[in-house]
Amino acid sequence: MTDTSAATDAASRNRSAVRSLLRLWPYVRPVRARLFSAAFVAIVASCLGLVIPLVLKWMVDGPVTDRDPGGVWLGALALLALGIVEAVLFGFRRWLVARPLAGVEAAMRADLYRHLQRLPVAFHDRWPSGQLLSRGTTDLMLLRMFLAFPLTFLLVNATTILVGCAILLIQEWTLGLVLLAPVLPLVALCSVFEARYALVARRAQDQVGDLTTVVEEGVLGIRIVKGFGRHQSQSLAFRALTGRLRGTELDKARLLAGIWGLIMTIPELAIGAALVLGTIQVADGGLSAGTLVAFLSTALALRWPVESIGFILALCQEAGTASERYFEVMDEPEETEVTAETARPERPERVAARDRDGDEDEGGDEGGLRFEGVSFRYPSGEDGAASVPVLASIDLHIRPGETMALVGATGSGKTTLTALVPRLHEVTSGRITLDGEDIALMERRRLRELVSVAFEEPTLFSASVGENVLMGRPDADAEALDRALDVAQAGFVRDLPDGIRTEVGEQGHSLSGGQRQRLALARAVVGRPRFLVLDDPLSALDVHTEALVEAALRCVLRETTALVVAHRPSTVLLADRVALLSEGRIAAVGTHQELLRSSGEYAWLMAGAEADAGFGALEGSER
């Protein structure tokens, strides 16, 4: 990149950082009164500091020249009082902003969390979790600090410098102009610094996100790391990232050191020049000693407001980047939602039919779960290259009350197809209907009530066993919970130390894989859903437990319309019919026996599974 384009890029980044900071206004608005009051108090406190040189001038030209001890004591008391008032005012400012700004941070964090829950699965597939974590923690902390300190002090320092300059010019305008001479070069230097610092600050904050991802993966995958003895390679990867972050932080420190050095040296030179000129004027009798003392004291009082500008600008840049990173996530579109007003209401004849026939209504052509010309491709990756279609022209009808097994080679698209029913992903073309209703036109809340899912990888939350199961239907009663646990053969929970109140630990890691799967299955069936989607939910069970779960599941499946991904013949036998998925297309539909006869691929898949199951059983009996 050429220097010019780097500068243009940095300048536009600067503008976008300011725009991002302005977007904080809705959050700041409710606390604006406190924030402005705090800024006002800080300005008063800071300007009080500028009165001190004027008291000094009075003391030098008055009591000191007249050798009046009483006057000196009076001056000293005035200085003490000014110092105390200044300190109290700064303390009051801090008290004014602390509580409301903690509230702003909490509100922004809550909004981010709420938004993350509503973003589509495709977003979460794309974004590393560490990047999201760092935006919800470090970046929000930087924004709170920005509102508490740099934002206020940018205003306070600017006002103090303006008032101080006015006092300097009024006291002795020639010396004042000498002191103001470095202003223009300093402004130019600051803007170059800001542009460069913006780029490095963004790089550092992104690297913190990458580092968080690696730490999180290392902690969550600690069993694999230990199991494969990968400590060293993990440490090396971590060290490489920390090394890169260290380099970036050093770049930041170098830039800061440079600007700070210049901001300190240039005004010192100007003060030195003013001191020399002032002393000559006092010697010539053109200036009183008191005025020179006051002039230099004012100049020295302005040192901190001037010197801190580099540091404050750096904090503002970091806050701009933090805000940009926060709104990058907040700007991602949430899942499209059909509202109660726009949702297509359930057709009256369907409601009537259901009322008449109970749950097992409408055997007709429309009922059940239907895929009509469904195609799906995952969103294109970072490089923008179009992804290949995973599912193409899927036409499949699962009749009301029917259980359909979905069988296919690994990678054929079974999980993807099941994820389309609860709309974890949106179909690329075609449509899916539940009892004739297009799920794309249904309120998500209603869709989730109708459809329950259990995935091969059972995800549990750090809550009690009961809470995890009841996630499937929070209003279910104890009887429903018991029934669900029985169906899933999860009676083991009653032997846990606190029964269903036992905490399962982070991601349920205090339980075995098979136990977690059974709880996930219980969660899926607890609400007696009209439609059940199970993605190979019995894969981690031994053959005996699997047989028990299947026997109990048979009763549940009779009451619902189900799509069950199956790898083993025993699971397939739960189903009324089987659909064979081959490279993203439905290759055949029929009963298990029909497909065994008519489809070589199906027979081959089942033969492999049978051999595996037989081997597993043999191993089990030998143990």
Residues 153, 307: contact at Cβ < 8 Å? no
Smallest distance, Å, CB 377 to ligand ATP? 9
Applying CB under 6 A, among 416, 433, 560, 599 the residue interacting with ligand ATP is 416
Tokens 């279910």 sit on residue: 476
Applying CB under 6 A, among 350, 399, 414, 568 the residue interacting with ligand ATP is 414
Applying CB under 6 A, among 411, 499, 505, 614 the residue interacting with ligand ATP is 411
Smallest distance, Å, CB 516 to ligand ATP? 17
| 410 lies in the site for ligand ATP, by CB under 6 A | yes
3-state class of 216 per DSSP? helix
Compare residues 125 and 498 and give the one whose CB is closer to ligand ATP.
Answer: 125
Rounded Cα distance, 96 and 98, in Å: 6
| 412 lies in the site for ligand ATP, by CB under 6 A | yes
| 123 lies in the site for ligand ATP, by CB under 6 A | no
Question: Element (H or E) spanning 397, and its range?
Answer: strand 389-398
Rounded Cα distance, 407 and 372, in Å: 19
Q: By CB under 6 A, which span of 255-263, 320-328, 339-347, 406-414 interacts with ligand ATP? A: 406-414
| 423 lies in the site for ligand ATP, by CB under 6 A | no
Distances in Å between the alpha carbon of 202 and those of 78, 118, 126, 198?
A: 48, 26, 20, 6
Question: Element (H or E) spanning 376, and its range?
Answer: strand 369-377
Smallest distance, Å, CB 458 to ligand ATP? 14
Compare residues 317 and 416 and give the one whose CB is closer to ligand ATP.
Answer: 416
Residues 59, 72: contact at Cβ < 8 Å? yes
Count of residues near ligand ATP by CB under 6 A = 11
| 305 lies in the site for ligand ATP, by CB under 6 A | no
Applying CB under 6 A, among 125, 337, 395, 477 the residue interacting with ligand ATP is 125
Smallest distance, Å, CB 126 to ligand ATP? 9
Residues 155, 46: contact at Cβ < 8 Å? no
Applying CB under 6 A, among 120, 413, 472, 514 the residue interacting with ligand ATP is 413
Strands 369-377 and 429-434: antiparallel
- Please count the other Cβ atoms lying within 10 Å of the Cβ belonging to residue 325: 23
Question: Element (H or E) spanning 370, and its range?
Answer: strand 369-377
3-state class of 549 per DSSP? helix
Q: Which of residues 332-391 bind ligand ATP (CB under 6 A)?
A: 378, 390
Residue type at 297 in one-letter notation: S
Smallest distance, Å, CB 610 to ligand ATP? 17
Hey, what are 36's tokens? 């402005």
Question: Element (H or E) spanning 563, and its range?
Answer: strand 561-565
Hey, what are 556's tokens? 């549940």
Smallest distance, Å, CB 125 to ligand ATP? 4
Q: By CB under 6 A, which span of 80-88, 201-209, 279-287, 410-418 interacts with ligand ATP? A: 410-418
Compare residues 232 and 410 and give the one whose CB is closer to ligand ATP.
Answer: 410
Compare residues 418 and 452 and give the one whose CB is closer to ligand ATP.
Answer: 418
Smallest distance, Å, CB 585 to ligand ATP? 12
| 415 lies in the site for ligand ATP, by CB under 6 A | yes
- Please count the other Cβ atoms lying within 10 Å of the Cβ belonging to residue 127: 18
The binding site for ligand ATP (CB under 6 A) comprises 125, 378, 390, 408, 410-416
